[in-house]
């Protein structure tokens, strides 16, 4: 049993290490932002699902913040239905690329 726990712990560390090694590519994200700009690319845009709220602009946000936010949606730690659905379809590389792209925008 101890060997099993040790193996699982090492496997978890390998996943964390692999995710930490991913570098965002802003150029690659140009083909991935179509799902984002419809809401996040319009100044002052308000959405009405599931309630009325002001959609934040992503340009110029910290890359680290954007990665953390998308991962929180992906894990269900943030609960906006549209963002959860979008984030669950993103790979770790997609998330890194999108974060790099928006961090470079003004």
pLDDT digits over 15-43, tens only?
A: 554 566 899 999 999 999 998 998 998 88
pTM: 0.77
Q: Domain for residue 10, yes or no?
A: no
Q: Domain for residue 96, yes or no?
A: yes
Interval 73-104: pLDDT, tens: 999 999 999 999 999 999 999 999 999 999 99
Which tokens belong to 103? Answer: 């961090």
3-class DSSP assignment, residue 23: coil
Q: Domain for residue 18, yes or no?
A: no
Residue 39, domain extent: 24-104
Question: Which phi and psi angles does 65 have, rounded to 5°?
Answer: -65, -45
Q: Domain for residue 52, yes or no?
A: yes
* Burial of 80 per CB tally in 10 Å (0-12, 13-18, 19+): middle
Contacts of 104 (CB under 8 A, 6+ apart): 26
Q: Domain for residue 13, yes or no?
A: no
* CA end-to-end span of the chain: 53
92-104 vs 63-75: helix crossing angle, rounded to 10: 140
Q: Is the pLDDT of residue 13 over 80?
A: no
Total domains in the fold of the chain: 1
Q: Domain for residue 44, yes or no?
A: yes
Q: Domain for residue 53, yes or no?
A: yes
């Amino acid at each position: 049993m101890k060997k099993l726990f040790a193996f699982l712990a090492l496997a978890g560390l390998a996943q964390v290490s692999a995710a930490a090694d991913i570098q965002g590519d802003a150029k690659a994200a140009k083909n991935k932002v179509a799902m984002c700009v419809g809401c996040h690319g319009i100044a002052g845009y308000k959405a009405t699902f599931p309630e009325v709220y002001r959609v934040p602009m992503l340009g110029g946000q910290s890359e680290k913040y954007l990665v953390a936010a998308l991962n929180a949606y992906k894990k269900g730690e943030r609960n906006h239905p549209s963002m959860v659905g979008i984030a669950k379809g993103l790979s770790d590389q997609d998330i890194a690329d999108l974060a790099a792209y928006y961090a470079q925008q003004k």
